[in-house]
Amino acid sequence: MAAAHGSGSVPTVAFTTPPNYAARLAHLLTLKGFKPLSAPTLIVQPTPSTVAALKPHLSPPSLDLFSAVAFPSRTAVAAFSSAAADVPHPLLSPHGDVFTVAALGKDSELIDDSFVHRLCPNPDRIRILVPLTATPNALVQSLEDGRGRRVLCPVPLVVGLVEPPVVPHFLRDLEAKHWVPVRVNAYETRWAGPGCAEEVVEKIEDEALDAIVFTSTAEVEGLLKSFKEFGLDWETAKRRCPNMLVAAHGPITAAGAQMLGVGVDLVSSQFGSFQGVVDALHAEILRLS
């Protein structure tokens, strides 16, 4: 049996973040005095087929046909960089109109001098745009009117799960801003498989889970899909582990969880990085102490 919040035991916090993001979140949880339990429900990575889909847009002079590239995730930036590394020349010519590179929150850390140099030999041609709020809609709103110009959108191909509405809404919002979005499936978001929630199920059965953190809607679906493999549903899980808090990394994840029938107890108001949801969870557990 887990001790009640604030009883002196170290709270166990599960999180369903994909492996390529998990170490960062685990570190932040540990710094706050939590015991992290990584239970990835998704695998997020480029594949040979997604790299092949992206490369034609990066081979000069193809990218010069665009006025911007909009990255809705950190993996999108990484996939773009990986594919660009195999292109022997800069992707853009040194002369031409300003080219906008738009990214969210801490994802923009990947758009460093090396990235810009690979993109264009003339850094003055590149404008880096990071909206104050780290959501795809805020990214769109921070762009000027598209005036019929093309924007490259490296997004995930969702495999084994229902595609969340985030990307379709992102593309729709770009069109409403008079851009012509060109969708490229630059990486895969794939269900991690039937056993991905096994450790979470065990903790729930023992009433030994203090909280669970979701950082995307697809993670929630992946968890519920794995629950079914163990004969468990969310309502039963909450009955067996009634003190378990559910934290969502931002309002989009929270709304997606709610649509899937998973009630959310707290939502981070600062979601440019995982620090926001960790701080919110820490504050809530202190409040319940």
pLDDT tens for 17-51 read: 999 999 999 999 999 999 999 999 999 999 999 99
Whether the predicted pLDDT of 108 surpasses 90: yes
Number of domains in the chain: 2
State the average pLDDT over residues 249-256.
Answer: 94
Containing structural domain, residue 158 = 45-190
Last residue of a domain, which of 190, 212, 243?
190
| 18 and 148 housed in the same domain | no
Flag whether 141 is in a domain: yes
End residue of a domain, out of 170, 190, 210:
190
Based on the fold, state whether residues 20 and 93 are members of the same structural domain: no
pLDDT at 247 over 50: yes
- Whether residue 256 is found in the same domain as residue 274: yes
If asked whether residues 86 and 184 sit together in one domain, one would say yes
State the maximum Cα–Cα separation within the chain, in Å, rounded to a whole number: 66
Asked if the structure places residue 3 within a domain, the reply is: no
Q: Which residues contact 152 (CB under 8 A, 6 or more apart)?
A: 57, 63, 66, 68, 69, 70, 182, 184
Indicate whether 217 pLDDT > 50.
yes
Are 203 and 280 contained in the same domain?
Answer: yes
pLDDT at 253: 95
Q: Do residue 207 and residue 86 come from a single domain?
A: no
CA gap 34, 147 in Å, rounded = 49
| Domain presence at residue 170 | yes
Q: Is residue 102 situated within a structural domain?
A: yes
- pLDDT of 9: 85
Q: Is the predicted pLDDT of residue 112 greater than 70, yes or no?
A: yes
Residue 4 lies in a domain: no
In terms of domains, do 242 and 254 share one?
yes
144/72 same-domain check:
yes
Provide the CATH number for the domain around residue 137.
Answer: 3.40.50.10090
172 & 216 share domain: no
Listed residues 140, 165, 190: the one ending a domain: 190
Range with the lowest mean pLDDT among 123-132, 178-187, 220-229, 268-277?
Answer: 268-277
pLDDT at 1: 32
